[in-house]
Structure 1
Amino acid sequence: MPVRTLPLPRPRHPRRAFGAAAVTALTALAAATLLPTGRAGAADTSLRSLAEAKGIYFGTAITQGDLNNPALTAVAGSQFGMLTPGNEMKWDTTEPSRGSFNFAPADRLVSFAQANSMKLRGHTLVWHSQLPSWVSSLPTTQVKAAMENHITNEVTHYKGKLYAWDVVNEPFNEDGSFRTDAFYNAMGSGFVADALRTARAADPDAKLYLNDYNIEGQNAKSDAMYNLVKTLKSQGVPLDGVGFQAHFIAGQVPSTFKANLQRFTALGVNVAITELDDRIQLPATTASLAQQANDYAGVVNTCLAVSGCVGITQWGVGDADSWIPGTFPGYGAATLYDATYRPKPAYAATATALGAGTSPSPTPGASCKVTSSVNAWNTGLTEDITLTNTGSTTINGWSLGFTLPAGQTVTSSWNASLTPATGQISAANLSYNGTLAPGASTSFGFQASHTGNTSLPTLFSLNGAPCTTA
């Protein structure tokens, strides 16, 4: 278990880090034929399909604001099979004042999930954080009724639409004692059983979970969760699983992770990785990205090796929408996708762990083709690139990723916006050339300085999907 001098902080609202540091290296990508519409192009290559073939799910968490980001939604809708609303089902959104419910924000995410054939995980019904002040201000004699009413109304509203609920979230302190929040102060530890029974009565078919962080390895906190689960099961309280958030630091996945999951499944509950990310000290390096790839693969392999591990959810889609940089200064790059939603080495490692080929060809089912040419002189060069939509669906907005050879630095560009100037480049359309009908092409280019290497760029990918080159 990683040693932390302070408990892992939890943000009131996951913060976005749109200025995340550019990744400095990228290994060969696993096949991921995403079409720009967000549909999976080849049924056997997306993370969701690979995971489902192994009998588990692979999910993500987004917020309603993310629905305005086409690059994010394209990846989310095609690559992930489970959706967790980041904030929209929490108490301060769903019942901001007593008896006044607002499900509209969460409903929008439910609609997105349904449109993309994704399962849904409810998060969360009872939590000490993101709790409106009126709850904490109630007399202790009124808290139980308020909690039961909240659970009943929210679970009933989504009855039949959700796969599972995180009924109680983060009930423990780091030393294994219960948090002294409004619910514990009013009902003692019995609030957990009461919340579970209330949720089961409102939707008998939804899976009911307890969820917490820093319980991935065997320690005082995970012992407390284990003993709670053991007690609840012995009392016949409805409990289907335990969620392990898995907010890891690269290279610090606990060695007791697998054994810990197994001792919980031995109690008769399922386990799930519910909020996975693996943060790196910035700037990311080739070594740290490789370590992150090993960590992600290890989490997948652990889940597959534990009978009763039902799935994995990454918290966020890419580094641009991760909560990590806003909460842990100096850290970031914690997800499978970089700040422009291109797959990172961890993506390739995850896909391989889920059963993808180790050296897949992007040609079958590819939706884009790239041709390029270079004109070089002493210390400079110009590059002309033509992008062709070889798919059957119109592209509305494109981002072409590629790796710029070492020693080359972009100094200017035309017909596209390029960032950053070196390394992993993202070329985005301008206002007049973002639409590409099937078979249509667009051209752009750039001028760059070089230190002797005038090679063409490599590893072209369109909105996260590998392109063929000619």
Structure 2
Amino acid sequence: MPVRTLRTPHPRNARRALGTVAATVTAAALAAAALLPAGQAGAAGPSLRTLAESKGIYFGTAISQFDLGNATITGLASSQFGMLTPTNEMKWDTVESSPGNFNFGPGDRLVSFAQANSMKTRGHTLVWHSQLPSWVSNLPNSQVQGAMRNHITTTATHYKGKLYAWDVVNEMFNEDGSFRNDAFYRAMGSGFVADALRTARAADPSAKLYLNDYNTEGLNAKSDAMYNLAKSLKSQGVPLDGIGFQGHFILGQIPSSLKANLERFTALGLEVAITELDVRMPLPADGAKLAQQGRDFASVTNTCLAVKGCVGISQWAVGDPDSWVPGTFPGEGAATLYDNNYQPKPAYTATVNALGASTASPSPSTSPSNSPSPSPSPSSSPSPTSSPSPTGGATCKVTGEINAWNTGLTENLTITNTGSTTVNGWALAFTLPGGQTVTNGWNATVSPATGQVTARNLSYNGTIAPGGSVSFGFQATHSGNAGPAGQFSLNGVACSTA
């Protein structure tokens, strides 16, 4: 297997302007949260988050403070992922850009979002050679340890009790397994790692303490160095709970030794996690590449599930538009589970299947993720007149999944045709609880915004075969009642609910 060498800047150097993200986002994104198994009883199809948790692991994502103003990204993040990693907001240059002046506002906003959506938070990161203010690098060696201890103590104390884990030291090794010659190593030698871990444990006894690096996923010189360090730290009684393997992979190059490598770390009594997963490919994407990417994501997921002590997987982005890859690797991209319209790709289907779901491949995934997609647009875009006139009132069942926060919610609904004739064109009427107002929808036109509402199919999803299903959803504000919609009828025929 060729060595996967990351070019600089590294992913966590990639800072996105809000305008850049907003320009690529469509309201269709939240349709991904409604990828539902046909005939699912009792509730809408389970999310990545639900499926992973049912297997005893988490599936997470990374977002920035700039994403919090975008309902598309936050809706998908909160509905599909159970772990949140701040991309930049807890790094040294954000938290302590000048000596002793701490700014926790950006990180606090992300922690608050995670708490509001019952997500765990991974602290990232306390000690790292990159995104390090120049004042730290320019300190005399005799002062670096004091600055490091103060930074760790102040930061970890601020977030005490709020985080699942800290990446205490990040990317400490060169590719040959030697330590990076950064400010910390120059001042303290390799002992800075143990010092950082002890300081973090004193500040927050409840957070899991991790070391995190890339290109350590397979058996190689760099992973050997990490293993030997971890073994030494454990033998010394240094507080170390886990190792993070970032997982920035190239298409078709998942290491065959991934499982064996993870298992040697868990044999030391450590947790392991895939902390920043993506699988990049040469652009443009095509069907063959997307299929291979699906196999790669499934391979990583299956490996984690097969290793006792692998506690979870996090993707480094929500979807392709907010991925670091295209800005760092020219000509490469399409590295996540969701395409440029935030529609699920074959990798999503492969991942949920690996986690135990049985889903049909979503229609958007048949098109390259970085090409114009024939998949759904926001409800304000296609004209409902392009849909066929509803014919045939079939027997129907409606299931739903709702995700609510302080003053808003998203609801995903699935219509299942339980009759024996095909529905050609559908209009689902339902009642919203008082105080709810629809602000946007996906996979259907939804109007009016309050009270008795009707969702009508778009041009691409008007047919429901016997036994088949179709999904749509909407976002709404509420004044206190975040309950689900009710009283469903399809083309004038009352539907059952489960």
Alpha-carbon distance in 1 for matches of 2:461, 2:128:
55
Alpha-carbon distance in 1 for matches of 2:226, 2:146:
25
One-letter amino acid of the counterpart of residue 395, structure 1: V
Structure 1 residue 20: deviation in Å? 7.5
SS at match of 1:397: strand
Relative to structure 1, the CA distance from residue 5 to residue 81 in structure 2 (aligned partners, 3 Å threshold; closer, same or farther) is closer
One-letter amino acid of the counterpart of residue 10, structure 1: H
Partner of 1:365: 400
The superposition leaves residues 5-26 of structure 1 with CA deviations (integer Å, 9 ceiling, x where unpaired) of 665640423447758799xxxx
- Answer yes or no: is the 8 Å Cα contact 1:20–1:333 preserved in 2: no
Relative to structure 1, the CA distance from residue 86 to residue 357 in structure 2 (aligned partners, 3 Å threshold; closer, same or farther) is same
Relative to structure 1, the CA distance from residue 202 to residue 208 in structure 2 (aligned partners, 3 Å threshold; closer, same or farther) is same
Partner of 2:157: 156
- Answer yes or no: is the 8 Å Cα contact 1:368–1:390 preserved in 2: no
One-letter amino acid of the counterpart of residue 31, structure 1: L
Tell me, yes or no, if structure 1 residue 396 matches structure 2 residue 401. Answer: no
Alpha-carbon distance in 2 for matches of 1:284, 1:206:
40
One-letter amino acid of the counterpart of residue 441, structure 1: T
Structure 1 residue 333: deviation in Å? 1.2
Relative to structure 1, the CA distance from residue 395 to residue 5 in structure 2 (aligned partners, 3 Å threshold; closer, same or farther) is same
Tell me, yes or no, if structure 1 residue 131 matches structure 2 residue 132. Answer: yes
Say which is worse superposed, 150-159 or 1-10, in terms of deviation.
1-10
Structure 1 residue 356: deviation in Å? 1.1
Alpha-carbon distance in 1 for matches of 2:258, 2:298:
13
Alpha-carbon distance in 2 for matches of 1:312, 1:369:
28
- Answer yes or no: is the 8 Å Cα contact 2:315–2:336 preserved in 1: yes
Relative to structure 1, the CA distance from residue 235 to residue 3 in structure 2 (aligned partners, 3 Å threshold; closer, same or farther) is same
The superposition leaves residues 119-147 of structure 1 with CA deviations (integer Å, 9 ceiling, x where unpaired) of 11000000000101100010110000000
Structure 1 residue 278: deviation in Å? 0.9
Partner of 1:147: 148
One-letter amino acid of the counterpart of residue 246, structure 1: G
One-letter amino acid of the counterpart of residue 175, structure 2: E
Say which is worse superposed, 331-340 or 11-20, in terms of deviation.
11-20
One-letter amino acid of the counterpart of residue 265, structure 1: T
Partner of 1:353: 354
Alpha-carbon distance in 2 for matches of 1:86, 1:195:
21
The correspondence of residues 197-346 of structure 1 with structure 2, limited to 5 A, is 197-346=198-347
The correspondence of residues 164-175 of structure 1 with structure 2, limited to 5 A, is 164-175=165-176
Alpha-carbon distance in 2 for matches of 1:264, 1:364:
43
Structure 1 residue 396: deviation in Å? 1.8
- Answer yes or no: is the 8 Å Cα contact 2:93–2:132 preserved in 1: yes
CA RMSD of aligned residues (A): 3.5
SS at match of 1:298: helix
One-letter amino acid of the counterpart of residue 365, structure 1: G
Alpha-carbon distance in 1 for matches of 2:361, 2:343:
17
Partner of 2:66: 65
One-letter amino acid of the counterpart of residue 291, structure 2: A
- Answer yes or no: is the 8 Å Cα contact 1:62–1:317 preserved in 2: yes
Relative to structure 1, the CA distance from residue 394 to residue 291 in structure 2 (aligned partners, 3 Å threshold; closer, same or farther) is farther
SS at match of 1:77: helix
One-letter amino acid of the counterpart of residue 441, structure 2: W
Relative to structure 1, the CA distance from residue 435 to residue 174 in structure 2 (aligned partners, 3 Å threshold; closer, same or farther) is farther
Gaps of 5+ in 1: 34-40, 371-383, 402-428, 447-453
Structure 1 residue 331: deviation in Å? 1.2
SS at match of 2:443: strand
Alpha-carbon distance in 2 for matches of 1:248, 1:391:
45
Alpha-carbon distance in 2 for matches of 1:145, 1:205:
23
Tell me, yes or no, if structure 1 residue 82 matches structure 2 residue 83. Answer: yes
- Answer yes or no: is the 8 Å Cα contact 2:90–2:126 preserved in 1: yes
- Answer yes or no: is the 8 Å Cα contact 2:37–2:360 preserved in 1: no
SS at match of 1:179: coil
Identity %, equivalent residues: 64
Alpha-carbon distance in 1 for matches of 2:205, 2:147:
21
Structure 1 residue 437: deviation in Å? 3.5
Alpha-carbon distance in 2 for matches of 1:129, 1:111:
26
- Answer yes or no: is the 8 Å Cα contact 1:125–1:151 preserved in 2: yes
Alpha-carbon distance in 1 for matches of 2:67, 2:447:
20
One-letter amino acid of the counterpart of residue 261, structure 2: N
- Answer yes or no: is the 8 Å Cα contact 1:83–1:113 preserved in 2: yes
Structure 1 residue 460: deviation in Å? 6.5
Relative to structure 1, the CA distance from residue 88 to residue 444 in structure 2 (aligned partners, 3 Å threshold; closer, same or farther) is same
Instruction: Between the two structures, name the one with larger relative contact order (CA 8 Å, sep ≥ 6).
Output: 1
Alpha-carbon distance in 1 for matches of 2:137, 2:36:
49
- Answer yes or no: is the 8 Å Cα contact 1:342–1:463 preserved in 2: no
SS at match of 1:51: helix
Alpha-carbon distance in 1 for matches of 2:109, 2:119:
13
The correspondence of residues 38-57 of structure 1 with structure 2, limited to 5 A, is 42=43, 45-57=46-58
Structure 1 residue 397: deviation in Å? 2.3
Relative to structure 1, the CA distance from residue 243 to residue 330 in structure 2 (aligned partners, 3 Å threshold; closer, same or farther) is same
Partner of 1:10: 10
Alpha-carbon distance in 2 for matches of 1:342, 1:174:
36
Tell me, yes or no, if structure 1 residue 441 matches structure 2 residue 446. Answer: no
Relative to structure 1, the CA distance from residue 445 to residue 165 in structure 2 (aligned partners, 3 Å threshold; closer, same or farther) is closer
Relative to structure 1, the CA distance from residue 363 to residue 386 in structure 2 (aligned partners, 3 Å threshold; closer, same or farther) is closer
Say which is worse superposed, 159-168 or 275-284, in terms of deviation.
275-284
- Answer yes or no: is the 8 Å Cα contact 2:430–2:454 preserved in 1: yes
SS at match of 2:125: strand
The correspondence of residues 166-185 of structure 1 with structure 2, limited to 5 A, is 166-185=167-186
Structure 1 residue 462: deviation in Å? 3.9
One-letter amino acid of the counterpart of residue 67, structure 1: L
The superposition leaves residues 51-94 of structure 1 with CA deviations (integer Å, 9 ceiling, x where unpaired) of 11111111111000001111111110111111111100000000
One-letter amino acid of the counterpart of residue 400, structure 1: N
Alpha-carbon distance in 2 for matches of 1:109, 1:193:
28
- Answer yes or no: is the 8 Å Cα contact 2:44–2:414 preserved in 1: no
Q: TM-score, normalised by structure 2?
A: 0.74
Between Structure 1 and Structure 2, how many residues are aligned? Answer: 409
SS at match of 1:440: strand
SS at match of 1:341: coil
Say which is worse superposed, 1-10 or 151-160, in terms of deviation.
1-10
- Answer yes or no: is the 8 Å Cα contact 2:170–2:213 preserved in 1: yes
